[in-house]
C-alpha cells in the first residue's frame, strides 16, 4: 500500500563509513535520494522494437539541503575520512565516505520508512553560503555506492 509522508517529521543522520560518530545536518530543508542504473538496450536490424535491455553501473545520487552548519562533518571531510578530523585542507588522496540514513514516518503513523545509502562521497562541501539579511543555507551533493536498506522499520 502506498503511504503519504510528512517531510518535517523525518530524521537524517550521516555516519562516516566504518565509524560510529553521527553527524546531523540540522535544519534540514530538503533531501533527494535517487538510485540509478545505466541501461543498455539491444536493437537489431530485423526489427524496430527493442529486443532486450540490461542494467549496469549502479550509483545513488544524494542531495541534502540544510540551514545549520555541522562543523564536525566538515572536519571529517577535510581529513579524508578514517575517523580523523582536520581544521584545514590535508595533503591526502583519501576520501571521506559516509552512510546516509533517513527515517520518515507515514502521515497516519503506520509505517516507518528507513533508507540507508552506503559509502557516499561528497566532492565538495559548502563552508559559507550567505547573503545580507538572510540565514545561511548549505547543500551537499554526493554519490553513494548502494542502497544498503529500504524497509519498514516500525516493528524493529
Least confident span in 15-24, 47-56, 71-80, 108-117 = 15-24
Which residue is associated with the grid cell 543498455? 40
| For range 87-104, the mean pLDDT | 92
Answer yes or no: is pLDDT of 99 > 80.
yes
Residue % of the chain over a pLDDT of 70: 99
Given a contact cutoff of 8 angstroms between Cβ atoms, the answer to whether 48 and 21 are in contact is no
CB atoms within 10 A of CB 115: 19
Residues 6 or more apart from 129 whose CB is under 8 A from it? 136, 137, 138, 139
Q: Burial-class residue 70 by CB neighbours within 10 Å (0-12, 13-18, 19+).
A: buried
CA dist., res. 124 & res. 146, Å (int): 20
Q: Which of 7-11, 43-47, 110-114 has the highest mean pLDDT?
A: 43-47
Answer yes or no: is pLDDT of 156 > 70.
no
Answer yes or no: is pLDDT of 24 > 80.
no
Given a contact cutoff of 8 angstroms between Cβ atoms, the answer to whether 136 and 130 are in contact is yes
User: C-alpha cell of 112?
Assistant: 516507518
| For range 9-15, the mean pLDDT | 85
pLDDT tier at 28, thresholds 50, 70, 90: confident
Which residue is associated with the grid cell 552548519? 69
Amino acid at each position: 500500500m502506498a503511504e503519504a509522508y510528512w517531510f518535517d517529521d523525518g530524521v537524517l543522520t550521516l555516519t562516516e563509513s566504518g565509524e560510529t560518530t553521527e553527524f546531523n545536518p540540522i535544519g534540514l530543508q530538503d533531501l533527494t535520494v535517487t538510485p540509478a542504473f545505466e541501461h543498455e538496450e539491444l536493437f537489431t536490424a530485423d526489427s524496430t522494437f527493442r529486443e532486450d535491455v540490461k542494467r549496469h553501473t549502479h550509483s545513488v545520487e544524494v542531495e541534502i539541503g540544510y540551514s545549520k552548519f555541522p562543523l564536525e562533518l566538515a572536519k571529517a571531510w577535510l581529513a579524508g575520512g578514517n575517523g580523523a578530523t582536520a581544521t584545514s585542507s590535508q595533503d591526502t588522496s583519501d576520501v571521506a565516505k559516509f552512510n546516509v540514513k533517513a527515517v520518515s514516518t507515514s502521515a497516519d503513523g503506520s509505517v516507518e520508512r528507513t533508507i540507508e545509502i552506503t559509502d557516499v562521497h561528497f566532492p565538495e562541501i559548502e563552508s559559507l553560503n550567505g547573503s545580507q539579511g538572510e540565514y545561511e543555507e548549505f547543500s551537499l551533493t554526493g554519490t553513494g555506492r548502494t542502497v544498503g536498506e529500504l524497509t519498514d522499520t516500525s516493528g524493529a
